[in-house]
């Protein structure tokens, strides 16, 4: 199914390019939805049109723009001093002075600041990927739920038409004296129940459409036709391998790994504060002519080179900054381990649901539905021939309806739980018929 499709992760898609923050990139024409629109069409629409996803991308762009800011040298300082009361020297009065200075941080400070910002940008990128995966999973879940509703309406409507036909047969046989009046009443009762079921399914359409439109960022009442496509492909990877992918490619966990690296670099950067920063400067002093004539060097301007450095005396403050970064690193590592356990538990549940859905799909498709259809056809033929009871006919019809609805529920469940699993894994999972191995991603 489309849920198995591999969506790009390393490079932003569609409008998500290197556009500056706040600038909306040109978007391609958004598609219209028809009865033939497949799941890929809905997913592409959501990826191109969802404001939450674009906000996450702009967070990533903003984090990237932080890197050149923290790796640049401090601005040089230009100073000017005017002597309100001139300082008299042997060669003349000092009138005004210009100064130019540049501060150079201690060795490695800028590099570490760049590492911290870079890891933060990597984390923002992974959170964008996580937002994208969650959006895809939400669209798939809403699409398949809406697909299931459409299939349920179709199945119930078909069974209603069958009961209407059986009622006509019962009326004909009753008119010929070959059937009892209770058969007609029983058919009308069944028909009323199916009509009520159809009405209930119809009432569920509006909230399902609203949910799908919300993921697509469209007005909630915008009409959407019932989808007609929902392919089912069994998983093509062992459960243990799938669970192992979570630790190496889940974007939330990758983001936290980048945050751990950022905290480690921040601790190293805090240790650099124990060392001074140096400031180099040059001053130019404008000097007037000496009051006494014949003085050597009269009126010569002075040029002074100097160096200064700060005194990192607040050692307790710097040690606290180191401990803060180390605690943040340890805390994030613990949170990552806790989140990994949670994701693996969710994935184990999803794998069970998927395997159970695959088993039920095969059971209904290959065994129960053919037998139910055969039973209904046989019972209907017996009733028409006068050797079967109407009660047996209704029971056969009910059994077929139950099996058809359960079969469609299993198909939708399979796709929905697969979307959950792929969101946890962070990439598409190969299918038995794809023949493609999915590489892991670990930064």
Q: Are 244 and 347 in contact (CB under 8 A)?
A: no
pLDDT per residue over 102-128, tens digit each? 999 999 999 999 999 999 999 999 999
- pLDDT exceeds cutoff 90 at 233: no
pLDDT reported for residue 5: 38
Confidence of residue 31 (pLDDT cuts 50, 70, 90): low
The Cα 213–Cα 125 span in angstroms is 26
Classify each residue of 341-360 as buried b or exposed e, where b means 16 or more C-beta atoms within 10 Å of its C-beta: eebbeebeebbebbeebbeb
- Please, are residues 258 and 126 in contact by the beta-carbon 8 Å criterion? yes
Q: Is the pLDDT of residue 78 over 50?
A: yes
The Cα 119–Cα 131 span in angstroms is 18
Lowest mean pLDDT among 102-111, 141-150, 215-224: 215-224
* pLDDT reading at 263 higher than 90: yes
Residue 178 has pLDDT above 90, yes or no: no
Please provide residue 6's backbone torsions phi and psi, each rounded to the nearest 5 degrees. -90, 115
Q: Per-residue confidence at 297, pLDDT binned at 50, 70, 90?
A: low
Is the pLDDT at 36 greater than 50? The verdict is yes
The larger pLDDT score, comparing residue 162 to residue 20, is at: 162
User: Does the model's pTM come out above 0.85?
Assistant: no
What was the pLDDT predicted at 95?
85
Q: Which of 277, 286, 313 is nearest to 101 (CA)?
A: 277
Kindly state the helix (H) or strand (E) to which residue 218 belongs, with its residue range: none
Q: How confident is the model at residue 30 (pLDDT cuts 50, 70, 90)?
A: low
The mean-pLDDT minimum among 52-66, 91-105, 262-276 falls in: 91-105
Per-residue pLDDT tens over the stretch 315-370: 999 999 999 999 999 999 999 999 999 999 999 999 999 999 999 999 999 999 99
The answer, yes or no, to whether residue 242 has pLDDT greater than 90, is: yes
190: left (phi over 0), alpha (psi -120 to 50) or beta: alpha
Position 10 scores a pLDDT of 35
The more confident residue out of 302 and 92 is 302
Going 135 to 136 to 139 to 144, the CA torsion angle's sign is negative
The CA angle 250-2-367, to the nearest 5 degrees, is 110
pLDDT at residue 115 in the model = 96
63/5: higher pLDDT? 63
* pLDDT for the residue 231: 83
Compute the half-sphere exposure of residue 142: CA atoms within 13 Å on the CB side of its CA: 22
Distance, C-alpha 229 to centroid of its chain: 24
Residue entry with tokens 């996580």: 130
**Which candidate, 92, 145, 69, 30, places its Cα nearest to that of 297?**
92
pLDDT of residue 246: 95
Write down the pLDDT at residue 177. 62
User: Residue 338's pLDDT is what?
Assistant: 97
Neighbours of 224 (CB within 10 A): 20
Query: Which has the closest alpha carbon to 441: 421, 426, 429?
Result: 426
Q: What is the rounded average pLDDT for all residues in the chain?
A: 86
The alpha carbon of residue 417 and the mean position of all alpha carbons in its chain are separated, in whole angstroms, by 16
Q: How far is Cα 364 from Cα 360, in angstroms, rounded to an integer?
A: 6
- pLDDT value at residue 6: 36
Q: What angle do CA 28, 30, 36 make, to 5 degrees?
A: 130
Q: Which range is least confidently modeled, 20-24, 26-30, 206-210, 348-352?
A: 20-24
Task: Give the whole-angstrom CA distance, residue 50 versus residue 142.
Answer: 15
Distance (Å, rounded) from C-alpha 334 to C-alpha 339?
9
The mean-pLDDT minimum among 135-149, 180-194, 234-248, 273-287 falls in 180-194
pLDDT at position 281, please? 95
The whole-angstrom separation of Cα 241 and Cα 245 is 6
Q: What pLDDT, on a 0 to 100 scale, did the predictor assign at position 174?
A: 65
| pLDDT computed for residue 138 by the predictor | 95
Give the burial class of 143: count Cβ atoms within 10 A of its Cβ; 0-12 exposed, 13-18 middle, 19 or more buried. Answer: buried
Question: With 90 as the cut, is the pLDDT of residue 310 above it?
Answer: yes
pLDDT, average across residues 127-140? 95
Residue with the larger pLDDT of the pair 2 and 423: 423
- The fraction of the chain above a pLDDT of 70, given in percent, is 86
The residue among 337 and 230 whose pLDDT is bigger is 337
Higher model confidence: residue 293 or residue 200?
200
pLDDT in tens, 389-399: 778 888 898 89
| Bridge partners, 279 (sequence order) | 103, 308
């Amino acid at each position: 199914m489309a849920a198995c499709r591999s969506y790009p992760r390393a490079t932003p898609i569609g409008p998500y390019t290197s556009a500056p923050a706040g600038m909306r990139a040109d978007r391609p024409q958004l598609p219209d939805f028809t009865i033939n629109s497949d799941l890929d069409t809905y997913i592409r629409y959501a990826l191109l049109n969802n404001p939450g996803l674009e906000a996450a991308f702009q967070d990533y762009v903003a984090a990237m723009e932080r890197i050149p800011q923290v790796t640049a040298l401090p601005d040089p300082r230009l100073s000017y001093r005017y002597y309100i009361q001139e300082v008299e020297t042997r060669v003349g009065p000092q009138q005004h002075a210009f100064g130019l200075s540049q501060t150079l941080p201690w060795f490695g400070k800028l590099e570490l600041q760049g590492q911290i910002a870079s890891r933060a940008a990597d984390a923002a990128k992974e959170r964008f990927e996580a937002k994208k995966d969650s959006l895809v999973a939400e669209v798939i879940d809403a699409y398949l739920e809406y697909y299931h509703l459409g299939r349920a309406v179709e199945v119930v409507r078909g069974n209603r038409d069958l009961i209407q036909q059986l009622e006509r047969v019962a009326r004909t046989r009753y008119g010929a004296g070959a059937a009892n009046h209770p058969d007609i009443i029983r058919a009308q009762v069944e028909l009323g129940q199916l009509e009520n079921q159809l009405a209930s399914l119809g009432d569920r359409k509006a909230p399902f459409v609203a949910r799908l439109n919300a993921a697509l960022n469209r007005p909630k009442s915008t009409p959407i036709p019932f989808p007609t496509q929902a392919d089912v492909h069994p998983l093509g990877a062992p459960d243990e391998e799938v669970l192992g992918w979570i630790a190496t490619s889940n974007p939330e966990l990758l983001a936290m790994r980048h945050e751990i690296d950022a905290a480690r670099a921040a601790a190293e950067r805090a240790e650099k504060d124990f060392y001074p920063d140096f400031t180099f400067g040059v001053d130019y002093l404008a000097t007037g002519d000496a009051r006494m004539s014949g003085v050597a060097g009269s009126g010569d301007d002075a040029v002074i080179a100097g160096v200064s450095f700060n005194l990192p005396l607040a050692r307790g403050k710097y040690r606290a900054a180191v401990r803060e970064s180390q605690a943040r690193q340890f805390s994030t590592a613990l949170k990552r381990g806790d989140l990994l356990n949670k994701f693996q538990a969710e994935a184990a549940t999803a794998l069970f649901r998927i395997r159970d859905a695959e088993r039920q799909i095969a059971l209904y498709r290959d065994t129960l539905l053919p037998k139910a259809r055969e039973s209904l056809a046989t019972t209907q033929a017996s009733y028409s021939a006068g050797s079967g009871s109407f009660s047996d006919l209704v029971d056969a019809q009910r059994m077929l309806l139950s099996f058809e609805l359960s079969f469609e529920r299993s198909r939708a469940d399979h796709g929905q739980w697969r979307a959950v699993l792929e969101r946890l894994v962070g990439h598409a999972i190969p299918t038995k018929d794809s023949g493609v191995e999915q590489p892991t991603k670990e930064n």
